Structure 1
């Protein structure tokens, strides 16, 4: 394949645009904010579960506390009624003894229930503290995610703006290249990421391997419009005054 020297030099402009676009795409895929956001999202999911668990535990304990408060109130009311009967007097001795025994039993039962209620209330305080802590951590992670997303979006905008400048530059160059030369370039770029490279000081700038004696002789003997390819990486070799031939 042949192409005049000026046309071959345009391949270097095309490769520069493609390299810049590839670097921008790589940067867009590997922004540190993306990994940080993914990590925070996992943390947020864990904290969400912790919030749900704490809230459920608190609700269960609250139900238990209401039941125990009702039990205490029932025992207390029964004791008040029995005490009123006792104070009223006029009861037979056997019934009086039974009533006094019941009042004593109710007092012990009330004391036991109040101790158990105190334990439930302490557990409720612990669950409430767990809920507040998990909710606060979740809010903090949400704020971190929002900040990281803002940085990510700003970086995306910068990258997309740079790509938006390079894309028309690339289109302008491809519009000036013969179809067969462009196709050869694209094949090489699809294989290794580099379609064309300058031959600088007898080395291919794509693979950085110096041409051997026979390869160098072939390049030296080739006419200026001959399209040459690196034997190692298959990039189109573009000769310039810096080729060292």
Structure 2
């Protein structure tokens, strides 16, 4: 393949722009906010799971408290009715009076036991409510950190993407002045060789593979016509000659 020396040198400009685009893509992918958001999101997921568990416990305690209070109320109402019967004088049989008094005493003990249950459930519910409040604050705090990190990441995205757009447009202009067949070869090599398709020959060294050309290779390059598209024998990239090639 042949191409004017000026076109080959412009290929180095295209390569420089492609390298910059690679750097921007890497920078976008390697932003520290990515790891920060990932770590915080894991923490948030765990906290939300704990919060759901605490809310479930509080809800269970609320139902248990309601049931226990209803049991207390039922026993209290029955005790009131028995006491009213006793006070009314309607029960005259000594045996019935004894049974009624015994039942009233039993109901009083039962009520006391149930009220103890209510207090125990209320204490557990209060503890669960405190846990819910604590976890809610922690969830809100972590979410705020995620929102902050996300805003910083998006701002960085905007800056990087803006520069990438500018560089892409510049590449379109520069590559448009490079012969199509030369650009096609360059793009093919760039994809194959880790993003570098053309390299400068500087002081007898290929800047693509960083290897110095041996005497035979140098002689071949020296003998090549100025418009010949030379390839590095080591990495097979397009080797662009300049006044600093040391030939």
Deviation, structure 1 residue 50: 2.4
Quote the residue 1:224 is aligned against.
226
Deviation, structure 1 residue 32: 1.8
Deviation, structure 1 residue 114: 1.3
> Unaligned 5+ residue runs, structure 2?
none
Quote the residue 1:55 is aligned against.
55
Quote the residue 2:200 is aligned against.
198
- Is the aligned partner of 1:215 residue 2:217? yes
- Runs (4+) off by over 4 Å: none
Quote the residue 1:243 is aligned against.
245
> Unaligned 5+ residue runs, structure 1?
none
Query: Where do 1:87-102 residues align within 5 Å?
Result: 87-89=87-89, 91-102=92-103
Quote the residue 1:121 is aligned against.
122
Cα distance in 1 between the residues matched to 2:187 and 2:222: 25
- Is the aligned partner of 1:39 residue 2:12? no
Secondary structure in structure 2 of the residue aligned to 1:197: strand
Deviation, structure 1 residue 19: 0.4
- Is the aligned partner of 1:186 residue 2:187? yes
Deviation, structure 1 residue 231: 1.9
Secondary structure in structure 2 of the residue aligned to 1:206: coil
Cα distance in 2 between the residues matched to 1:54 and 1:237: 67
Query: Where do 1:44-83 residues align within 5 Å?
Result: 44-83=44-83
TM-score by length of 1: 0.93
TM-score by length of 2: 0.93
Quote the residue 2:12 is aligned against.
12
Secondary structure in structure 2 of the residue aligned to 1:176: coil
The CA RMSD measured in Å over matched residues stands at 1.6
